[in-house]
A and B are shown apart, each in its own frame.
Chain A
Amino acid sequence: MTGTGADFVLSAEGLGFDRGDRPILDSVSLCLRRGEVLAVMGPSGCGKSSLLALIVGLLQPNRGMLQCDGQRPTLMFQEPRLLPWRTALDNVAFALKGDGVPAETRSGRARDMLETLALAPEDLGKFPRQLSGGMRQRVALARTLVGRPDLLLLDEPFAALDMGLAKDMRAVLREYLERQNASAVIVTHDPREALQMAGRVVVLSKAPGRVVFEFAPEPAGSRASLGDGIGRLEAALIEAGTA
């Protein structure tokens, strides 16, 4: 599905990206409405992370058209990528420097966001190496959300977290997306996460990645429909891996 117009925050048509001579993405067409969450799945190396980097502007496409109307698109990487020489609080406040937020309000907003993500006050002044893996991921999520982005690009954001913490973080994220009417593209390997978080799921083929399957799960589906959705996605992923 592609589209243009005021209701689309993201629109890609025939998007292609090469790394050197090697095509990574080929003829990818997709779009995203304001307030919509799209999950992107596919085999490893099919260009999911490259797609997010293209949307946020870290990479430039070799072919096709990409239009991003998000005022503040923000990318959360697979790894936390925290500044090792800055405290948890300063790492979150760092994200606001690019938005020109005055220094006196940066710390307050960073503190509020970290508290929302249940980081204890005594942990705010700790350096990344003093934090557990889960705490580092929470700091990274806080850094992503503190700038109040209207388009979130999340690259396997909860893959490294234990089930309980991942569930809590998903709840925080959902609450944020609803409150801000923000859109999101979530890259994930977990069909359950894709179905729980997204209104639409696309599956890319192995490299060069192309959209080979698109699926819109029923909103607030039953356990049976969730099971059916997982089955369909798993079948699509197996097919994408061998396509």
Chain B
Amino acid sequence: MSRGKVRFSGLLFGALGIGALLLLWELGHRRYGSLVLPGLDDTFAALLRLTRQGLVGPALSTTTFHASLGWGIGAIIGGGLGVLAGLRTPVRQALQPVSVILLGIPAIAWIVLALLWFGGGWAVIFTVAVATGPVVFAAATQGARSLDGDLAQMARAYRTPPGAMFRDVHGPHMVGYLFPALATALGLSWKIAVMAELLSGSGGIGDGLAAARARVDTAETMAWIVVVVTVLVVVDQALLRRLQRRAELWRDSEETGAP
């Protein structure tokens, strides 16, 4: 099948899947009523109202700040320690059990602890960092452990300077491991940030959800959910997938027409 046909088929079946979901939503609304599941029209009316009141923009930027900063801290610490663990066996032996323990602690438990320790926005940022860091750590460890010794030896034989060694030899290898983990952690960071905001009352979309829940306004609750999902889909489609295609062009046979 040609690339054009694959793309068209992807769009067609993707649209069919979303259409089926919206249909189920509307059927659920008609079966159980607006309090349980508001209709599509009520939800989009609520979204329009929130936007006109100027609530969506600030909430979106607050959640983006919390999620991005937490994700960034988790990526730097998790990635840095992961590389170290991949290169040094004693570090790996010391940190791997810690990572497993951290991964086993539910995000909700971290939120409760973070609220006691920090409170406010830093509780959200800490929770995101501590929940996403181990995901990046595991990928970085695997990436560093599987660095290609033959390629490194070839590069040394050509007296490659350290900068080029990183850019041309080790960097692209690590991207193959880190990119999927960073993308997963980015999605996770948004979900955890909204949950932590809801419990901490530190602004953002989670705070909007908490207010809607307090008023038992299901349409507004669904409107906030639509905002979160839209952001995640846009980030995934417009940024992550494009970056991934670009970073992994060399191994994608369909993109390159490899034999």
Contact = CB atoms under 8 A, between A and B. Distances in A.
A129 B160 contact: no
Given A74-B157, A84-B250, A97-B158, 14 more contacts: A58-B156, A58-B157, A81-B154, A85-B172, A85-B173, A94-B155, A94-B168, A97-B160, A97-B164, A127-B249, A127-B256, A129-B258, A130-B259, A132-B259
A56 B173 CA distance: 25
A75 interface: yes
Find the residue from B150, B156, B159 having the highest chain A CB count within 10 A: B159
A77 B157 CA distance: 10
Contact of A56 (B157, B249, B250, B253): B157
A98 B173 CA distance: 20
A94 B158 contact: yes
A86 interface: yes
Interface residues of B, number: 24
Contacts of A75: 157
A93 to B, nearest CB: 10
Contact of A147 (B158, B161, B256): B158
A130 B159 CA distance: 27
12 contacts: A56-B157, A58-B153, A75-B157, A85-B172, A85-B173, A85-B251, A94-B155, A97-B160, A97-B161, A98-B159, A99-B159, A127-B258
Given A127-B256, A130-B256, A84 B251 contact: yes
B98 interface: no
Interface residues of A, number: 23
Contacts of B154: 77, 81
B216 interface: no
A95 interface: yes
Find the residue from B168, B172, B253, B259 having the highest chain A CB count within 10 A: B168
Given A127-B250, A127-B256, A127-B258, A83 B168 contact: yes
A79 interface: yes
B229 interface: no
B37 to A, nearest CB: 48
B160 A85 contact: no
Given A74-B157, A129-B250, A79 B168 contact: no
A147 B159 CA distance: 11
B157 A85 contact: no
A129 B259 CA distance: 8
Interface of A: 56, 58, 74-75, 77, 79, 81, 83-86, 94-95, 97-99, 126-127, 129-130, 132, 143, 147
Nearest to A84: B250
B11 interface: no
Contacts of B173: 85
Nearest to A130: B258
Contacts of A130: 256-259
Task: List the 4 shortest-distance A-B pairs measured between CB atoms, nearest first.
Answer: A98-B159, A85-B172, A81-B154, A127-B250
Find the residue from A56, A97, A126 having the highest chain B CB count within 10 A: A97
B158 A81 contact: no
A81 B151 contact: yes
A132 B257 CA distance: 13
Find the residue from B156, B158, B168 having the highest chain A CB count within 10 A: B158
A83 B157 contact: no
